[in-house]
Amino acid sequence: MNIPVVDLANFTSGDPELKKQFVAQLGKAFEETGFVAVKNHTIPDALIAHLYEHVQEFFNLPADKKNNYEIPGLAGQRGFTSFGKEHAKGFDAPDLKEFFQFGQEVTDSDPIKSEYPENITVTEVPQFTPTLLSAYRAFEESGNALLEAIALYLGLDENYFHEYVHNGNSILRAIYYPPITSEPKSAIRAEQHEDINLITLLVGASADGLQILTKQDEWIPVTSLPEQIVVNVGDMLQRLTNNKLRSTTHRVVNPPREKWASPRFSIPFFLHPKGSMSLACLNSCIDAQHPKLYDDYSAAEYLDERLREIGLKK
């Protein structure tokens, strides 16, 4: 299944008609599929290549070296999380992965800085941490533009999300699925789930495996071209829009047997707002045909609940 493709350059072109078309295409894709491929996303190809290079260097370190970067008490929100620690909501079996998370670096006088743990610097791979920061900023830029388009599609001011995502709690996650060395208990590397955040931006992956669940309850592989990023709606945006924009269920499956020896790397950017943002359903998304479906939550309250559900927080 080739998911819908949109061109971000149309939104940023300055042409009102192209911008209007982009907003309509993006909104339609998020209502109908929940996933979209974005070209001209402004994240440099060279940066993406360096990112994957240094991510692979980190995960190739010996286990005892990587374990030095697993910090108790952070619920996996910064640094390394070892194999088998996270599971999907509603499932007990752990996902077959380990990961490293990098978060917001507040560089102005915003007092929210005190709410965020410090990022973890990896000394064995000197370019790992600075490359993560460069990638984080590039993802933020693209994500903010997409949120502007989403705001317009919802009939909101174009800058509606700005105050919430400036110095927001976004996470860049580098994921490593090790080679399969024996008959797996399941065909699933990462069990079916929905993302927690507003939107997720994913630059490629080193191997196939991502599938989405269609409205017809069919699992379909997601394919995109190398110059595209895949973007999907998360649960926070679903709650905010009272299910107008749907958080799509997805999973990662094991490769065919002949490719078991190949690891899989994946680097999603989970765009989160500040914890103080209200996720109360927008009034414009509530009417007689669409009654309010969710209790009022803040982003921080919802994130805390979900981290407990997936086993990262006790």
Residue 165: in which H helix or E strand, if any?
Answer: helix 162-165
Integer angstrom CA distances of residue 199 from 30, 76, 147: 10, 19, 8
Determine what percent of the chain is predicted with pLDDT higher than 70.
Answer: 91
Q: What pLDDT score was predicted for residue 69?
A: 95
Q: How many CB atoms lie within 10 A of CB 216?
A: 6
> Please, is 92 exposed, middle or buried when counting C-beta atoms within 10 Å of its C-beta (0-12, 13-18, 19+)?
exposed
Q: CA geometry: angle at 293 spanning 281 and 146, to 5°?
A: 45
> What are the domain boundaries of the chain?
5-309
What φ, ψ does residue 236 adopt, rounded to 5°?
-65, -40
Residue 22: in which H helix or E strand, if any?
Answer: helix 16-32
pLDDT digits (tens, 9 = 90+) for 4-19: 899 999 999 999 999 9
pLDDT digits (tens, 9 = 90+) for 195-252: 899 999 998 664 577 888 887 788 888 876 778 888 999 999 999 999 999 898 888 8
pLDDT digits (tens, 9 = 90+) for 273-301: 999 999 999 999 999 999 999 999 999 99
Q: Does domain 5-309 have CATH number 2.60.120.330?
A: yes
- Local confidence band at 38 (pLDDT 50, 70, 90 cut-offs): very high
Q: CA geometry: angle at 210 spanning 52 and 184, to 5°?
A: 95
The arithmetic mean of pLDDT across residues 24-30, rounded, is 95
Residues facing residue 269 across a β-bridge: 172, 201
Q: What pLDDT score was predicted for residue 1?
A: 54
- Local confidence band at 183 (pLDDT 50, 70, 90 cut-offs): low
Q: What pLDDT score was predicted for residue 231?
A: 92
Q: Output the average pLDDT for the chain.
A: 89
257 and 182 in contact (C-beta within 8 Å)? no
Assign 3-state DSSP to the chain and report helix, strand, coil percentages, each to 5: 30, 20, 50
Q: What pLDDT score was predicted for residue 206?
A: 47
Q: Looking at this protein, which amino acid is placed at residue 215?
A: K
Residues facing residue 279 across a β-bridge: none
- Local confidence band at 263 (pLDDT 50, 70, 90 cut-offs): confident
Q: Is pLDDT of 266 > 60?
A: yes
